[in-house]
Structure 1
Amino acid sequence: MIRVLQGNRPHEPECPCCADARLGRRSLIGAGLGLLACTVPGGAEAQVARGTRRVSVQRAYTSDSFSGVYFADGRYVTEALRKLDWVFRDLSREEVTPMDPRLFDVMNAVAARMEANEAFQVISGYRSPETNAATARRSGRVSTVSLHMSGMAGDMRIPGRDSYAMARLAATMGLGGVGLYRRDGFVHLDCGQSRRW
């Protein structure tokens, strides 16, 4: 049996006609529109909540990989998240942390928009504070407050795909942070605030 975690489900709107028994003309029109919205099946939010989300990842420098469903029937799949946590672990310390599943949502959305079936190659996922500090000392491009330490970020590429095009597309989607490391050929994606560099 697959165990699942409760995902972020969209708030179901309260039907406005139940809120107040005395409705004026404007309230009545608003109530009618609200009632229509409450009863229309298959809205975009409902499809996202009930949809199936997949991700394919392969860890650079190891043979670790995951390809499959990590979100189904409005919930994150626990076993899939555990496997993804392992793939995204801090390799230098062999340290695993729970990754923020919203990162996989960002990756899923980017892959869908790119029409990419290939696996993301993960260069860096979770970084322990010690690993991040050591990396920051070696490179001025690494933040000392990196979202990698919170399990909210990954540096990745899709082999055979243009990293610049991927970064541009991800940035226009506004789902989180996007950084292009053109010289190294990878893109930083995170599920924090929308920003780019």
Structure 2
Amino acid sequence: MTFTPPQPQLHRRQFLRTSSSLFVAGAMFTIGTHTARANIAGSGFRQISLDNLHTNEKITLAYANGEAYIPAAMQRLNHFLRDHYSGAVGQMDPNLFDLVNKVRASLNTNVAIEVISGYRDPHTNERLRKTRGGGVAKRSLHMVGQAMDLRLKGVPLDELRDAAKELALGGVGYYPKDGFVHMDTGRVRSW
């Protein structure tokens, strides 16, 4: 006679937690469709659409449900916003995604956010400081995942800048010559 250990019972909380994780995974898998976008829009999920102009990658996914950020989505976004010079992956501040989404919503548009720069490796930052003739801060918030340089297709840069400044949720830099606005989750300031 062989002994079969008793199977653990799945308690209601475990079942709900597992079910919601499977639902989120399914939503993230199918998020590229219009149907999935419509379902997520009214469900408490927050999603983001990004186009990386240096790597030509695009991503649309749910990154938060209510107040909780989705770890698998955060990992994907960290990789997506990696240093395009070195390939180094940093840890992005989830509040940054909320910030850029709030700015986009205030402009009444749902176009993808065109990313010029996300995370920046400290070595890359130092090299750019020495070769770009200014414009790259020694203690850039890009190095700690709190900054993104971006634009929105069809939205004038000055309107994007003004919308970000009006929300007063972090730093806003205006670079019309280079074609982007810098947003970060640091202290409120503008330049």
Q: Same fold (TM over 0.5)?
A: yes
- Give, in whole Å, the separation in 2 of the partners of 1:157 and 1:105: 16
1:108 to 80, 101, 107: 101
| Alignment TM-score, normalising by the size of structure 2 | 0.75
**Cα drift, residue 139 of structure 1:** 2.8
2:79 is equivalent to residue 86 of structure 1: yes
2:174 aligned partner: 180
- Give, in whole Å, the separation in 2 of the partners of 1:133 and 1:186: 21
2:154 aligned partner: 160
Q: Is the CA contact 1:58–1:87 (under 8 Å) kept in the aligned structure 2?
A: no
2:139 to 127, 134, 145: 145
Query: AA paired with 1:147?
Result: L
Q: Is the CA contact 2:55–2:84 (under 8 Å) kept in the aligned structure 1?
A: no
Query: AA paired with 2:188?
Result: S
**Cα drift, residue 148 of structure 1:** 0.3
**Cα drift, residue 97 of structure 1:** 1.1
- Give, in whole Å, the separation in 2 of the partners of 1:66 and 1:175: 24
- Give, in whole Å, the separation in 2 of the partners of 1:62 and 1:99: 18
Structure 2 residue runs without a partner (length 5+): 1-17, 25-42
Count residues in correspondence.
152
- Give, in whole Å, the separation in 1 of the partners of 2:178 and 2:105: 24
Q: Is the CA contact 1:125–1:155 (under 8 Å) kept in the aligned structure 2?
A: yes
- Give, in whole Å, the separation in 2 of the partners of 1:102 and 1:125: 13
Q: Percent identity, please.
A: 39
| Alignment TM-score, normalising by the size of structure 1 | 0.73
RMSD: 1.7
Query: AA paired with 1:170?
Result: A
1:7-59 deviation per Cα after TM superposition (whole angstroms, max 9, x unaligned): xxxxxxxxxxxxxxxxxxxxxxxxxxxxxxxxxxxxxxxxxxx9432211110
Query: AA paired with 2:152?
Result: I
1:52-88 deviation per Cα after TM superposition (whole angstroms, max 9, x unaligned): 3221111012232221211103200111111111111
Runs in 1 of length 4+ with deviation above 4 angstroms? none
- Give, in whole Å, the separation in 1 of the partners of 2:90 and 2:151: 22
Query: AA paired with 2:66?
Result: D
Q: Is the CA contact 1:51–1:74 (under 8 Å) kept in the aligned structure 2?
A: no
Residue 161 of structure 1 aligns to a residue whose secondary structure is: coil
Query: AA paired with 1:141?
Result: G
- Give, in whole Å, the separation in 1 of the partners of 2:84 and 2:50: 15
2:52 aligned partner: 59
Structure 1 residue runs without a partner (length 5+): 5-49
2:69 to 76, 82, 107: 76
2:8 aligned partner: none
